[in-house]
Structure 1
Amino acid sequence: MPTDDEVLFFDTLRRDDVPIVGGKNASLGEMVQKLGAAGILVPPGFASTANAYRRFCRANGIEALIHSTMAAYREGRMTLHQAGDTIRAAIVAGHWPDATEAALRAAYAELSTRTGQDDIAVAVRSSATAEDLPDASFAGQQETYLNVRGEDDLLIACRKCYASLFTDRAISYRDAKGFDHMQVALSVGVQQMVRSDLGGSGVMFSIDTETGFDKVVLIDAAWGLGENVVQGTVTPDEYQVYKPFLDRDGVRPIIDKTLGAKEKKMIYAAEGDAGPVRNVPTSRAERARFVLSDDEVLELARKAVTIEEHYGVPMDIEWAKDGNTGALFVVQARPETVQSRSGAALKHYSVGEHGATLVTGLSVGEQVASGRVCLIETAEDIDRFVDGAVLVTSTTDPDWVPIMKRASAIVTDHGGRTSHAAIVSRELGVPALVGCGDATYLLHDQQEVTVSCAEGDIGHVYDGPAEVTVEEIDLTEVAQTRTKVMLNMANPATAARWWRLPADGVGLARMEFVIANTIRVHPEALIHFDDLRDAAVREEIEKLTTGYADKTEYFVDRLALGLARIAAVAYPNPMILRMSDFKTNEYADLLGGAQFEPTESNPMIGWRGASRYYDPAYQQGFELECRAVRRLREQIGFDNVMVMIPFCRTPEEADRVITVMQGQGLQRGVQGLQTYVMCEIPSNVVLAGEFAKRFDGFSIGSNDLTQLTLGIDRDSDKLAPLFDERHEAVQWMIRTVIEKAHEAGAKIGLCGQAPSNYPDFARVLVEAGIDSISVVPDSFVQVKKHVAAAEAD
């Protein structure tokens, strides 16, 4: 391809044309040429070349000005702002060489003709010849101008794009990355506008941006044009889709949906407005509903997978929905540059004692940092930032990069996990909380805080310094074992961080954690909502269930989605899901729960587990749990999920529970469903043969089994020294039930705390012939070593 052309249409470009038209435009051309037949819709357009930029600079003496100005900046005779201002002003005031101007005008006219529109509205985007590289994304470094109409306005917008190559943030970023300012050229992409001002737009990644989990697509969406999502000035809707199931018939593998605030939207300006676009507040109805339907979410996810497979690397993609036609377009695609380069070592942060929670938000990164707050409202004040401080501001756009890299942590009121600020924070390795809502209101200058992004999707700002431990786990040292070593998991928000562990599945997924932390409402309070007596509880439940006409559907949907995020990490290995195992006092703590729960003197051995599931006072609640499990297996697609019944005292009780489950479509052996029973009561050991007739396997709960074998309340401070899961009586119980389970042809594992607390206890289990051991992720590598050593003896 000749490199002396002024303008090239996208349909003549390929991905290796980066030196000619920059990363963005080369990628657009690649998709137009290679992926159109695969259903990837890219709005048509053209790109000015890097040579056109160089000719413009030579014609206006810009190259000499850049050289002298940057020399003055390096020598301290100019500030960064003065240097950038000088270069930008010269570029904006420059004149176009005749050939370049003629080529741009002709290309714009041709694009209008091709699309059948006079003075077509276009997006004018910068595309540098050094961007979207493996070690430097240059995300958001240059400007974009939307709804540009007419040849004259196009020429103005192109000059502004050239000038944006020398914003303060772009100069600083190139200096930090070691790029020569004279060697970077700019191409301008001119692309037909998608009427997303009438629809929605956003960003998607073909990888989990926080953990690098490569089996999900992460999609952010907001109303209107996409700049608000990219710049992080709104909190978008967020969706996660499990990639391996996208081609499976009959399933809809959306594993998470979070409704964002979507505070405003960018639309076309009205006649007489100052610019071509403007921001307006969204309506309450728009804030209360998702931008995308489930079908659209899945369509976008399939597009992301198609693009990723073509490029062979995880991708960062911008998309737009045309409000007139409903079509979903891809308007940019670039390689993801942070998680795709992460190595085999896992660095795990844990927060111990900490102060009061001051602010919460979406966590970016998995680190913890402490420092003093530096509250800065506008970019004009960034000069007063103190190195190592916690930057707190309303929103961090690319102008803030020079101080973002010097911050110990970043906290913003607005933004989502795919905003520019989040992308840059990840690249810089700086933990950030975005979309906090009121951080600038609640925090103040010089305040000592700890910012924690190590506790899942929701991060916390704690008052004062916190107790923090850091552990590095080297996955290259994990031993191979015959005995399966699985994980205990409860929190969907933290599950994906452990995806690199070579575990044999999830041996215990605790349903009650999802109910308590995600759903928060007692199931009976949803079933009998009209009968609730507490007005404040009714009001709070109304807020939580916004968008759900049937309040029980809220329980089923949110439970299925929460569990799906754990099942996704385990797949195709099994996930053993324990049905709810709250005690009555814990159920009573759920919203509305006090109205439906009795007061028991000893809830630990009271109305819990299996005894609730067939009881008329809770059976309807258990049926909601079953509905969620069926949706998880059959609609979302995680047929690796097994069901486990806790605290099942007798075989007759097991029969009653099994009957209820069958009534909800969960029948052992149908569609591969396996069922397990917890072994945590001495009767489970004594009658193991009878239980084995009803279940596929056992999972030993060493905490409760120790409690009931030794007759010790495990919550008693007085008796704590006597509580020991390694006691010979407990070991006898464990060895006996393993032997009986194997005699009956049933599988048996252990999911209690003992191996996590005492990794050497794994030897006892291996010698007894256990099939699997399930431990908390932090203990996985150490337990693996003990299991391997025991097997070798």
Structure 2
Amino acid sequence: MMPQSANVIWLDEAGRTDVPRVGGKNASLGEMINTLGAKGISVPMGFATTSAAYWWFLQANDLESAIRVAIGHYVDGNVSLAETGRAVRSLVLKASWPDELAMEIASFYRTLCENSGKEDVAVRSSATAEDLPDASFAGQQETYLNVRGERELLAACKRCFASLFTDRAISYRQVKGFDHMKVALSIGVQPMVRADRGGSGVMFSIDTETGFNKVAVINAAWGLGENVVQGAVDPDEYVVFKPLLSDVALSPIIEKRLGGKEIKMIYQEGEAKTRNVPTSKIERSSFVLDDEDILTLGRWAVVIEEHYGCPMDIEWAKDGDTGGLFVVQARPETVQVGRDLSVLKSYEIRSRGAVLAKGLSIGDSVITGRVCLIESPEQIEDFVDGSILVTGTTDPDWVPIMKRAIGIITDHGGRTSHAAIVSRELGLPAIVGSHDATQRLHSEQEITLSCAEGDEGFIYEGAAEYDVKEVSLRNLPETETQILLNLANPSAAFRWWQIPADGVGLARMEFVISNHIKVHPMALVEFDRVQDDDTRRKIESLTSGYGDKTEYFVDKLSRGLARLAAVVHPKPVIVRMSDFKTNEYAGLLGGETFEPEEENPMIGFRGASRYYSPSYRAGFALECRAIERLRNTLGFDNVVVMIPFCRSVAEADRVLSVMAENGLERGVDDLRVYVMCEIPSNVILAKDFASRFDGFSIGSNDLTQLTLGIDRDSDLLSDLFDEQDEAVKWMISNVIQEAHLAGAKVGLCGQAPSDHPEFAGFLVDQGIDTISVTPDSFLAVKREVAAAERAHSESAA
């Protein structure tokens, strides 16, 4: 034990209220060591210099007045930011340590080495105006890794003091209104976690783009974490559903995205303590974390968030020698926490040019503008204000340029990279990890940057036309009729979490298959039958890393549907089993080998008839395996299965039998099975169908088509296609009555209420249980239903 000191303390002597003494970073580390260690969270023990030590260092070298004068010249506009920062840092670096302070730091270091058995330490800066709820100061001060020996330690500590006056730190404090001479710097010293032999990264306890608060997002790369923070690598990304993490029998990892991870940072001897080296092919094709590590970090995110009472930004590391996981930093998330959740803003692109590049979307807006391609922050004078900044990657030196941009595009980086963090804080849309935007775009080129289409961001040629909608979620009326959402795109699902929907009435499996899986399921079951060499290569590439190609389908489908189910959990989510037509199935990779040509696919080999057919039964088995995993392994037992285009009662029996053979038996584990009502036979024999299914979902598009005998895609007959035709309304009215008599629920998931909110009034009058609509029409339909219910109640009275 060391004697009590005002200048150097052990981290466990600090807590969350000690920001003025040891800065935000060290206060948080001390808080976690003291309070969360008992809950299983591992934080490396260490020591910290205090703000008193910083002021002592400045006073001993008579630096305060000199720094104040230099900053004053900058504030008055007499010298540039670069000149000021350079001058102040030089003053600090040339200063000498007070002997007593130097000896005290060295003594703590020796004790730390004895206790940990390690001489290599990480030396981190922790400012007293850092990691506050409204100011993150992300990456502003320096960290020095792999520091060994007392001389190197003192030199690194002095460089940390100097980093309080980097150009970006001075500029940030000026913008935020902090007095430069009232901010002190503490230094945290901890034993090195051998992440150079393992991995590291960043974790947010909410979705960073939408503010969805039920997930934790984890980024991971091989080696030290600086590459992830700086955006120098494209990391793995894992998304964990927090409400289900408490059940150890479940594995609620709803997304695993493999990153490129082209380089990793490791330790080296010499003046430069770290260096980047290329990763191996195995490392690039492998996930940094296994499922157990992902779940552990997810649980830690929940514990840390609950303790601090706010969303958190957490840095973690995995020791390659021991396999141990550690939290090395935790700070409040500063962007989404200030968002107005009562207002929903959405962007819809009406027309656009060709796709020039893609990457990860940061934010949820759309902008158009001209490119300004800059290779380094030294070219700051070349940047044109109001342009879209395009570059390889960014670090804190880029902040002065980023503040002058309207949008940002980088070749490298993930959602927790510097470019992503700063873009959010500045309120700028950004696309990171585009891989080759600097090669595909050029200065003065007009482009559209779209972050409004889900996790993937798109760069379009020219100025796109788009609409912006902003609606208030305040004072929504209550309705007895439940209003649900139609969802299809897992990547965009989190955008709608603020909508107070009663569930998801239609989750389209086809979108996940066509956009995320891309391969015909039978081409995975019977890969040997696929003869086209190019198709085989594409399938081999997509399924790389899966020993069994069918596992690729089950894994991708279950996780894709999980993102849809997560948005409204624990409310019900009705997942429709695949309802491609044969020409659509044929468009999947390998599909032509397995699909017949039909004259009229719309009423051909589709829906239920496929599920028990020898030509697709094995493919349907994969769909069932995915649903079983979604419900029982990932934990989303709020999922209801729905069978489309079921033509007869006999067919219903055959499908239910095949489902049971594949682990999905109605009533077992509370599994509910619905049937689409889209064929006149479903209405005529509603009582019989109701004895086999738990509910009906009226597909008004197909029901209209088959009731009126009109091809819904025919331009020639488009004026006759009317979901409000009296014959269609008779069908809807009758199935509702028959279903209710049989004790079955009835909903409608067609397009009519979205396009014609007044149609909702008719449905209310008929006593429908649920109406499922597109997210953009939810509010209008909700209000229309409320009005219809009031009118219905008044007329009944």
Fold similarity call, TM over 0.5: yes
Residue aligning to 2:459: 461
Q: Whole-Å Cα distance in 2 between the matches of residues 651 and 692 of structure 1?
A: 10
Call closer, same or farther: CA 1:161–1:83 in 2, change over 3 Å: same
Whether the 8 Å CA contact 1:416–1:434 is kept in 2: the answer is: yes
Residue aligning to 2:571: 573
Residue aligning to 1:264: 263
Report the secondary structure of 2:181's partner residue: coil
Report the secondary structure of 2:20's partner residue: helix
Output aligned runs, 1:54-453, within 5 Å: 54-117=55-118, 120-269=119-268, 271=269, 273-343=270-340, 344-453=342-451
Q: Whole-Å Cα distance in 2 between the matches of residues 175 and 38 of structure 1?
A: 40
Residue aligning to 2:588: 590
Cα offset, 1:513, TM superposition: 0.2
Query: Is structure 2 residue 529 aligned with structure 1 residue 528?
Result: no
Whether the 8 Å CA contact 1:521–1:592 is kept in 2: the answer is: yes
Q: Whole-Å Cα distance in 1 between the matches of residues 653 and 416 of structure 2?
A: 49
TM-score scaled to structure 1, two decimals? Answer: 0.98
Report the secondary structure of 2:314's partner residue: strand
Q: Whole-Å Cα distance in 2 between the matches of residues 537 and 56 of structure 1?
A: 67
Cα offset, 1:641, TM superposition: 0.4
Give the percent of matched residue pairs that are identical in Structure 1 and Structure 2: 65
Moved more, 528-537 or 17-26: 528-537
Cα offset, 1:116, TM superposition: 2.7
Cα offset, 1:74, TM superposition: 2.6
Q: Whole-Å Cα distance in 1 between the matches of residues 105 and 87 of structure 2?
A: 26
Structure 1 residues 505-542: Cα deviation after superposition (integer angstroms, max 9, x where no partner) = 00000000000000000001111112211000110111
Whether the 8 Å CA contact 1:412–1:439 is kept in 2: the answer is: yes
Cα offset, 1:420, TM superposition: 2.0
Q: Whole-Å Cα distance in 2 between the matches of residues 687 and 42 of structure 1?
A: 64
RMSD over aligned Cα, in angstroms?
1.2
Residue aligning to 1:745: 743
Report the secondary structure of 2:369's partner residue: strand
Q: Whole-Å Cα distance in 1 between the matches of residues 677 and 310 of structure 2?
A: 45
Q: Which structure 2 segments of 5+ residues have no match? A: 792-797
| 2:508 aligned partner, one-letter code | R
Whether the 8 Å CA contact 1:3–1:20 is kept in 2: the answer is: no
Cα offset, 1:167, TM superposition: 1.2
Q: Whole-Å Cα distance in 2 between the matches of residues 448 and 94 of structure 1?
A: 50
Structure 1 residues 335-356: Cα deviation after superposition (integer angstroms, max 9, x where no partner) = 1111122122111111110000
Whether the 8 Å CA contact 2:483–2:502 is kept in 1: the answer is: yes
Q: Whole-Å Cα distance in 2 between the matches of residues 325 and 517 of structure 1?
A: 40
Residue aligning to 1:35: 36
Q: Whole-Å Cα distance in 1 between the matches of residues 173 and 779 of structure 2?
A: 41
| 1:450 aligned partner, one-letter code | T
Output aligned runs, 1:577-726, within 5 Å: 577-726=575-724
Structure 1 residues 722-774: Cα deviation after superposition (integer angstroms, max 9, x where no partner) = 21211222111111111111111110000011111111111111011100000
Q: Whole-Å Cα distance in 1 between the matches of residues 724 and 449 of structure 2?
A: 38
Cα offset, 1:38, TM superposition: 1.0
Whether the 8 Å CA contact 2:221–2:236 is kept in 1: the answer is: yes
Residue aligning to 1:730: 728
Residue aligning to 2:22: 21
Cα offset, 1:665, TM superposition: 1.0
Cα offset, 1:60, TM superposition: 2.5
Whether the 8 Å CA contact 2:377–2:401 is kept in 1: the answer is: no
Report the secondary structure of 1:67's partner residue: helix
Whether the 8 Å CA contact 1:372–1:447 is kept in 2: the answer is: yes
Whether the 8 Å CA contact 1:412–1:435 is kept in 2: the answer is: yes
Cα offset, 1:4, TM superposition: 7.1
| 1:59 aligned partner, one-letter code | A
Q: Whole-Å Cα distance in 2 between the matches of residues 468 and 92 of structure 1?
A: 53
Whether the 8 Å CA contact 1:4–1:51 is kept in 2: the answer is: no
Output aligned runs, 1:543-558, within 5 Å: 543-558=541-556
Report the secondary structure of 2:146's partner residue: strand
Cα offset, 1:279, TM superposition: 0.6
| 2:69 aligned partner, one-letter code | S
| 2:309 aligned partner, one-letter code | G
Cα offset, 1:477, TM superposition: 2.5
Residue aligning to 1:486: 484
TM-score scaled to structure 2, two decimals? Answer: 0.98
Cα offset, 1:14, TM superposition: 0.8
Moved more, 354-363 or 50-59: 50-59
List 4+ stretches of structure 1 deviating above 4 A.
none
Report the secondary structure of 1:450's partner residue: strand
Moved more, 416-425 or 659-668: 416-425
Q: Whole-Å Cα distance in 1 between the matches of residues 90 and 598 of structure 2?
A: 76
Cα offset, 1:274, TM superposition: 4.5
Report the secondary structure of 2:689's partner residue: helix
Structure 1 residues 76-128: Cα deviation after superposition (integer angstroms, max 9, x where no partner) = 321111111111111112111222212211111111121134xx111111101
Whether the 8 Å CA contact 1:10–1:45 is kept in 2: the answer is: yes
| 2:327 aligned partner, one-letter code | V
Q: Whole-Å Cα distance in 2 between the matches of residues 508 and 203 of structure 1?
A: 34
| 2:409 aligned partner, one-letter code | V
Whether the 8 Å CA contact 1:701–1:751 is kept in 2: the answer is: yes
Q: Whole-Å Cα distance in 2 between the matches of residues 425 and 100 of structure 1?
A: 40
Q: Whole-Å Cα distance in 1 between the matches of residues 767 and 529 of structure 2?
A: 52
Q: Whole-Å Cα distance in 1 between the matches of residues 56 and 722 of structure 2?
A: 79
Whether the 8 Å CA contact 2:360–2:415 is kept in 1: the answer is: yes
Q: Whole-Å Cα distance in 2 between the matches of residues 459 and 588 of structure 1?
A: 28
Residue aligning to 2:795: none
Q: Which structure 1 segments of 5+ residues have no match? A: none
Whether the 8 Å CA contact 1:707–1:713 is kept in 2: the answer is: yes
Cα offset, 1:59, TM superposition: 2.4
Q: Whole-Å Cα distance in 1 between the matches of residues 691 and 504 of structure 2?
A: 24
| 1:276 aligned partner, one-letter code | K
Cα offset, 1:305, TM superposition: 1.1
Moved more, 93-102 or 523-532: 93-102
Whether the 8 Å CA contact 2:529–2:593 is kept in 1: the answer is: no
